[in-house]
Structure 1
Amino acid sequence: MSAPFEHPERKAMRKSLRRLERHITGLKPDHQIAPSEIDQIQFMPMVLDENSMDRPTFFTPLNESLLEAPDDKYDEENEMGYDTYDSIPEDWRDPKTCAQAISIYWYTYLSRYSLGKQPPGGEIVWSPVEINNAVYKYKDLYRFDFPQFGYDDIEQVAHGPYAHVMATIHNNLNTDDDHILQGELLAILRLMIAHLRRGRFIDHMVSPIMAFSLVGPQHARVIETYMEGHNVVVRRTKLYDLRTKDAAAFKTFAQWYFGKPRAPTGQSQ
């Protein structure tokens, strides 16, 4: 059986993407990347507001009326609790531990919706990606030496002409609004490279990724990444300070996590 045809322009794009990944891999592991540092990356602002010109390009949000706000009443009714920064013993306040505190609450909140009966219009289109599948070769998505990074989950659209990916990543470093971590970019670019290698997406010139990035000291931001020609567009929100629980932020994140692709990325499969 012959291999599916890949357009030469797409091959050149993937080659350029791999070259960028190798360049970033060669940086120091704790390096913080400034927007003007790498010509092949175009950094742009993003806000999680569907009515803004700076909204995500490839993703749409779930209607906020379909989600409960995770306020104090919600926590009490669902026997949930949030570990604030001050509640974590001082000796344990490394960025990874504090990011895990966000992750535990985040996934408990998400599961209340995903495991329940979704209302009309709120059906979930995402399903887990099998990163250990040898055919798809999802490699080097984790770094276990300091500073660690990795995925907490990876989701894809199971059917149809949608190469979109939704994911949550963590890094064991502090950062700020003026920089992006090497571990954030490596995790995203390596996932994109592997996803574009799949035969299902052979006619797709773009594989947009929306990553919910958990970083230190106990912060989070959302990063949308995609290719435009041989350049990579990295759109990111401000850092949300979650050292105390921000119910509005968690609800907003969940709207985009459970949203749908804005449009197909390739021909019908």
Structure 2
Amino acid sequence: MSVSEPAGRRKLRQVLRALCKNIQDLELYEFDVHQGKAHKINILSLELEEQSDARPIFFTPCSASIMADPVESMTEEGQEFIEFDSFPEYDRDPLSCSRWLFDRFSGYIASCGVYSNCDEAYELDKLQSKLSMTEPPFTNLDQYSYPEWLTVLATKIAKGPQPHIKAFVCNNMNGTDTKVLRGKVMVTLRLMIAQMKFVRFVEQFTAPVKSVSPLHRNPRY
């Protein structure tokens, strides 16, 4: 059975592709609020307070009942916290350290499902699946020339009509509270475009992407 894409949605995908190409060709490496508006990027403040008007719209916090103790749940062999000075010299570069942080974060999330003994945690874990970033449409998420960025890991909702992606991105630039790095913008746009190619999202006009970037002096979400 063929599915017809709404004309407005098709137009939106064209706009996203044009915006992505425009950002890619810029020599600008970061955007403040005014620079963002000039390139059709709306940069809004974000607060994690539940009652705040600036709280996340498309993402909700996990229930406290499924959050394991971050110390007690990470005591098995291979999960121990490692101080920076304990790393071999060749593993102290920012990218290696950020990969270790990602691995530890992923390990903690997995531990939540085990230690909480909660059906909700199990169901949440089943909903997520890792993206293969070497196969279309989830490709071209890295840049190895200055300013470098690298998408280390990304997950998506495995089923259902709502798009939802979380990505872990390393940027070789410092981030601030008032500016957004071009690498993060490029990854976000490409993930949005990729999500909107799926037939099961044909009725959706939004493609939320949550990106986490630990590799700079001021990590940002």
TM-score interval, smaller chain = 0.7 to 0.9
The reply to whether residue 78 of structure 1 matches residue 53 of structure 2 is: no
Query: Partner of 1:129 in structure 2?
Result: 131
- Where does residue 104 of structure 1 map in the other structure? 103
Aligned-pair CA distance for 1:133:
3.8
| Structure 2 equivalent of residue 226 of structure 1 | none
Q: 1:88 to 1:145 in 2, by over 3 A?
A: farther
Using the alignment, how far apart are the partners of 1:10 and 1:183 within structure 2?
25
Corresponding residue number in structure 1 for 2:153: 153
Report Cα offsets for 1:22-63 as digits up to 9, x if no partner: 12111237x122121032111111122333322210111111
CA–CA separation in structure 1 for the residues paired with 2:89 and 2:180:
26
2:29 corresponds to 1:27: no
1:194 maps to 194
Offset at residue 85 of structure 1 (A): 5.7
Alpha-carbon offset, residue 172 of structure 1: 2.3
Structure 2 unaligned runs (5+)?
A: none
- The 1:56/1:86 distance shift into structure 2, 3 A limit, reads farther
RMSD of aligned Cα (Å): 2.8
The aligned amino acid for 1:119 is C
TM-aligned CA distance change 1:91 to 1:131, over 3 Å: closer
Q: Could you say which structure has the higher strand fraction?
A: 1
Relative to structure 1, is the Cα distance of residues 86 and 34 closer, same or farther in structure 2, using a 3 angstrom cutoff? farther
Q: TM-score, normalised by structure 1?
A: 0.69
Q: 1:95 to 1:176 in 2, by over 3 A?
A: farther
Q: What amino acid maps onto 1:6 in structure 2? A: E
The verdict on how the C-alpha distance between 1:127 and 1:163 changes in structure 2, with shifts beyond 3 A counting, is same
* SS of corresponding position for 1:130: coil
Provide the C-alpha distance between the structure 2 equivalents of 1:52 and 1:88, rounded to a whole number of angstroms: 41
2:168–2:213: 8 Å Cα contact kept in structure 1? yes
Query: Residue 169 of structure 1 aligns with which residue?
Result: 169
Q: Which has the higher relative contact order, 1 or 2, with Cα contacts under 8 A spaced 6 or more apart?
A: 1
Q: 1:6-85 alignment to 2 at 5 Å? A: 6-28=5-27, 31-39=29-37, 40-71=40-71, 74-75=73-74, 77-79=75-77, 80-83=79-82
Quick check: 1:175–1:215 contact (8 Å CA) kept in 2?
no
Structure 1: 5+ residue runs without aligned partners?
223-269
Residue identity matched to 1:143: Q
Q: Secondary structure of 2:35's partner? A: coil
Give, in whole Å, the separation in 2 of the partners of 1:152 and 1:47: 25
Are 1:126 and 1:157, in contact at CA under 8 Å, matched by a contact in 2?
yes
**Would the aligned equivalents of 1:83 and 1:101 in 2 still touch at CA under 8 Å?**
no
Indicate the structure with greater helix content: 2
